[in-house]
Amino acid sequence: MSGRRNQGNNTGAGAAPAGEERDYTVRAVERVCSILNLLQESIDGVSLIEVGQATDLPKSSAFRYLWTLEAHRYVERDEGTGLYRLGLGFVGMQSRQLEVLRERARPWLEKLRDEFDETANLAILDGDHIIYVDIVESRNRVRLASARGARDPLHSTALGKAIASRLSEARVRELLEHTGMDTLTERTITTVDRFTEELAAVRRIGFALNDGENETDGRCVAVPLLGARLPAAISISAPSARFSREDAERAARRLVEVTKEITASPIPEQRSVEARD
């Protein structure tokens, strides 16, 4: 008998015969990918019915998929509208840095709310939009507030301007070309050149202002968190009838002080799996 080993024979149980492609896809995973792709393409969120239609799932099955993704924070449901959006599970480096940032910012957001009696917000850049990671709402019956996990454009928000002011011009242009610059009010900035001029002003004065550009009756002032490892900013937002430009400028000075307190010590880098083990 020969002692030669049989080499190059790939027709065992783990390989497809020559000339034949084996389908390794898993239907459940394909459906999850379809759901996530649908959510990623939507700005306002999608309904349970739309998810079912996109995945050929009955309503009850689509709900179970969404419920599971929500439990793992990859999906968030807006209690007001019932629509689903991508959750914070997809935010880059979220697991450690974002949680630390939120923990540090929370008491300061509460102080800002109490000091100005208006809503205080923390947001970061998530893809080509900002996402609200924490909100402390004003106690006023009439107030300007978004929802945690909600997404807003860069070009029409003070938070977006503040965050964009720390990015390169090439990166800002790339993001805006991808998203477009929809006209939300008559004051919305709708050209890239005009927006880059606005960012130059933000860098010069140290804060960003949304003066009725995202909502007609809203005003918001924001300051970037310069010491954070994440592209982040904090803001104060209010109805414009109650929050004048002078109020916004006064709030901006306070926001600058607060950002220095929040980032007084560096946000720790996310440790690797090996380091945790």
Residue % of the chain over a pLDDT of 90: 54
Give the CATH number of domain 27-90: 1.10.10.10
The CATH number, out of the four listed (3.10.20.440, 1.10.287.70, 3.30.450.40, 3.90.25.10), of the domain defined by the range 94-262: 3.30.450.40
pLDDT per residue as tens digits for the range 6-43? 444 444 444 545 555 565 668 889 899 999 888 877 65
Is the pLDDT at 118 greater than 90, yes or no?
yes
Range of weakest confidence among 78-92, 121-135, 160-174, 249-263 = 78-92
Is the pLDDT at 4 greater than 60, yes or no?
no
**pLDDT value, residue 210:** 96
pLDDT per residue as tens digits for the range 67-98? 999 888 788 887 778 888 877 666 554 557 78
Q: Does the global pTM surpass 0.75?
A: no
Centroid of chain to Cα 235: 15
Domain ranges, ordered by start, for the chain: 27-90, 94-262
Mean pLDDT of the chain: 84
Structure tokens at 235: 């803001």
Q: How far apart are CA 223 and CA 152, in angstroms?
A: 16
| Helix, coil or strand: residue 222 | strand
| Helix, coil or strand: residue 185 | coil
Q: How far apart are CA 145 and CA 118, in angstroms?
A: 9
- Say if residues 137 and 119 touch (Cβ distance below 8 Å): yes
